[in-house]
Structures are given as structure tokens and as C-alpha cells.
Amino acid sequence: DSGVTQTPKHLITATGQRVTLRCSPRSGDLSVYWYQQSLDQGLQFLIQYYNGEERAKGNILERFSAQQFPDLHSELNLSSLELGDSALYFCASSVATGEGEQYFGPGTRLTVT
């Protein structure tokens, strides 16, 4: 157990819908990262927040957005969902930003039908 929690574990929804994925970092970690992993694919970095502020952006679609709240938990919002958005979404956390270790949560499996 990495100490990073994610909810829900599974999510099934229809095209065009909007969903929110939630992540709580390890105690003491200030940075949260979101990754997308499609079937048999690698990990694609989406976005990073550090202490409430957006710090880095990767290949995140405009239909996706995220935020980090004062209690440091983070939410990833996915809207106008398409079949291709079906994937595992992982959240990771680290103590700070920079070259620190990132610890991954168990992931949310999103299925868009």
C-alpha cells in the first residue's frame, strides 16, 4: 500500500458524460500527478499540482481539467467523454516537486460505453 488513495476504483459511463476522479496523496506529500494508461500502453503524464498550484502540464486534453484543494486532495474532471478515454487513470504523489520519488495510487478504471 503506497498511502495514496483513489476513488472510485471502477467507473462505467456513457459517451458525452462527465466524471470526476478523486485522489488523496500520502500524508505529508504536497505534489500530485495524474497519469493516463490506456490498454497495453505506457503511462502518459497529464498534469501536476504542487501545494494547490498547477506546476506542469503534459498531454492533457482540453476536455480534461484538474485541481488540488487546500487539504491537498486532487480531482481530475473528464468531460464530453469519448470511447477513447477508456483507460486506467493513476494519481501519484511526492513530497515536493523536483526529482523526488513518486508513489502511485491504485488507479481508477474508466470505461466509456
Partner 1 sequence: GENVEQHPSTLSVQEGDSAVIKCTYSDSASNYFPWYKQELGKRPQLIIDIRSNVGEKKDQRIAVTLNKTAKHFSLHITETQPEDSAVYFCAANNNAGNMLTFGGGTRLMVKP
DSSP-based three-state secondary structure for 62? coil
Which residue lies nearer to partner 1 by CB, 79 or 106? 106
Which residue lies nearer to partner 1 by CB, 43 or 79? 43
Question: DSSP code of 100?
Answer: -
* Cell 487546500 sits on residue: 70
Site for partner 1 in 30-49 (CB under 8 A): 31, 33, 42-45, 48
Which residue lies nearer to partner 1 by CB, 8 or 58? 58
Distances (CA, A) of 4 to 31, 38, 70, 80, 92: 12, 21, 17, 27, 7
Residues near partner 1 (CB under 8 A) = 2, 31, 33, 42-45, 48, 50, 55-56, 58, 90, 97-107
